[in-house]
Chain A
């Protein structure tokens, strides 16, 4: 069965500092990997995805993520955090090889402090 782990419930970072939100995954085949963000009282918004090719993926709002197959990780990063980045972030995985649904992690709440 496929699964996603987001080991940190909460990440706090000062505005202007780099941020990292961690994600590790488990699938039987090769993964499709996604990051979504949820602002208060809103649905999820797509940030970026890894399908194949370059391990460094760039997405919306200056976010990027690096696919690391050996460590089964897909950490979300941004070089300089903004207060407006404060939100709930979800990592998700789908097994490329099977007829399986998209599975989400439990989410990490990011707080960027001015």
Chain B
């Protein structure tokens, strides 16, 4: 089975721009979660989707949004980029037939905001 894929792998944007990141989960996985990883803060939870419904949302401003499509692929969008948005954005998928299912992570998208 192919793993979780994320595109693009690297992005450079300037302040004020917006960006869309994409995630394709492992085939058959219906749950997708997004995390922001920075050196000082570790992994911060952004969103969790299951069958196109947002099940949980982390403590991030409204500039951060996401969605999940019927094929379980997911996108997240960040509008009006700030310097502090520079981070590694990780997507993870799981079957979520039970809540104890482990998540499988993609390689991440490295976003740099100048």
Instruction: Determine the residue in chain A with the shortest Cβ distance to B107.
Output: A43
Q: Bound complex: CA of A108 vs CA of B53, how far in Å?
A: 33
Given contacts A51-B100, A99-B55, A101-B58, are A106 and B4 in contact (CB under 8 A)?
Answer: no
Residues of B within 8 A of A90 (CB): 42-43
Given contacts A42-B107, A49-B102, are A106 and B42 in contact (CB under 8 A)?
Answer: yes
89-105 of chain A: CB within 8 A of chain B: 90, 94, 96, 99-105
72-114 of chain A: CB within 8 A of chain B: 90, 94, 96, 99-107
Cβ of B42 and Cβ of A101 under 8 Å apart? no
Residues of A within 8 A of B14 (CB): none
Residues of A within 8 A of B35 (CB): 104
Q: Bound complex: CA of A7 vs CA of B40, how far in Å?
A: 14
Bin chain A's interface residue count: 20 to 34
Cβ of A43 and Cβ of B105 under 8 Å apart? yes
The digit string for B80-110, where 1 denotes a CB below 8 A from any CB of A, is 0000000000101000000110111111100
**From residue B66, how far is it (CB to closest CB) to chain A in Å?**
13
Tell whether B33 is near chain A: CB-to-CB under 8 Å. yes
Residues of A within 8 A of B107 (CB): 42-43
Given contacts A43-B108, A101-B55, 16 further A-B contacts (CB under 8 A): A42-B107, A43-B105, A43-B106, A43-B107, A46-B102, A46-B104, A90-B43, A94-B100, A101-B56, A102-B45, A102-B103, A104-B42, A104-B43, A105-B42, A106-B42, A107-B42
User: Can you list 10 A-B contacts (CB < 8 A)?
Assistant: A43-B90, A44-B90, A44-B92, A49-B100, A51-B100, A90-B42, A94-B100, A101-B48, A101-B58, A102-B33
Chain A residues within 8 Å of B, Cβ to Cβ: 32, 34, 36, 42-46, 49, 51, 90, 94, 96, 99-107
